Structure 1
Amino acid sequence: MLKVCSASLLLALALLLACDLGLSWSVRKQIIDDFAQVEPVPVALILGTSKYVGKRKNIYYETRLEAGAQLYLRGLVQGLIVSGDNATRYYNEPITMYNDLMSEGIPSAHITMDYAGFRTLDSIVRAQKVFGQTQFIIVSQRFHVERALFIANYYGIKAIGFAVENAPIEYHWRVRLREVLARAKAVFDLYISNEKPRFLGHPEIVGLRELFPESIVDTNMVDTSSSASSE
Structure 2
Amino acid sequence: MYKALQLIKKIIVVSFFAILLFIAFCEYQVNQKGQACYDDLQAIPANKIGLVLGTAKYHKSGINLYYKSRINATVALYKAGKIQQIIISGDNGSKYYNEPKTFYQDLTKAGIPKEKIFLDFAGFRTLDSVVRCKNVFGQEKVTIISQEFHNERALFLADHFGLEAIAFNASDVPFSYGIKGYFRERLARCKAVLDVYLLNTQPKFLGEPVIIPQTS
Structure 2 residue aligned with 1:120, among 123, 126, 133? Answer: 126
Q: Is the 8 A contact 1:42 1:208 kept in 2?
A: no
Q: Give the counterpart of 2:77 among 71, 76, 79.
A: 71
- Residue 23 of structure 1 aligns with which residue? 30
187, 194, 213: which one aligns with 1:188:
194
Q: Which of 12, 17, 30 does residue 10 from structure 1 map onto?
A: 17
Give 1:84 deviation, angstroms.
0.2
Find the partner of 1:88 among 85, 94, 119. 94
Residues 53 and 90 in structure 2, CA contact (< 8 A), matched pair in contact too? yes
Distance 2:215 2:103 in 1: 19
CA contact (8 A) 2:29 2:156 kept: no
Residues 50 and 85, structure 2, Cα contact 8 Å, conserved in 1:
yes
Question: Do 1:109 and 1:208's aligned partners in 2 also have CA atoms closer than 8 Å?
Answer: no
RMSD: 1.2
Partner in structure 1 of residue 151 of structure 2: 145
In structure 1, list runs of 5 or more residues that go unmatched: 211-231
Aligned length: 209
Q: Aligned-pair distance for 1:22?
A: 3.1
1:205 offset after TM fit, Å? Answer: 1.6
Q: Choose from 12, 33, 49 the match for 2:39.
A: 33
Deviation at 1:123, TM superposition (A): 0.2
Q: TM-score, normalised by structure 2?
A: 0.93
TM-score (norm 1): 0.87
Q: Select the structure that is richer in helix.
A: 2
Q: Is the 8 A contact 2:70 2:145 kept in 1?
A: yes
1:56/1:208 CA distance change after superposition, 3 Å: farther
Q: Take 1:207 and 1:102, find their aligned partners in 2: how far apart are those partners?
A: 19
User: Structure 2: which 5+ runs fail to align?
Assistant: 1-7
SS at match of 2:143: strand
Structure 2 CA distance for aligned equivalents of residues 60 and 208 of structure 1: 30
Contact 1:117 1:123 in 2 (8 A): yes
Which piece of structure 1 moves more, 93-102 or 155-164?
155-164
**Given that residues 47 and 84 in structure 1 are in contact (C-alpha distance below 8 angstroms), is that contact kept between their aligned partners in structure 2?**
yes
Q: Does 1:103 align with 2:109?
A: yes
User: CA deviation digits over 1:138-160, x for unaligned, max 9?
Assistant: 00000000000000000121100
1:57 to 57, 63, 67: 63
- The structure whose Rg is larger is 2
Say whether the 8 Å CA contact 1:94–1:114 is kept in structure 2. yes
Deviates most, 33-42 or 137-146: 33-42
Structure 1: 4+ residue segments shifted above 4 A = none
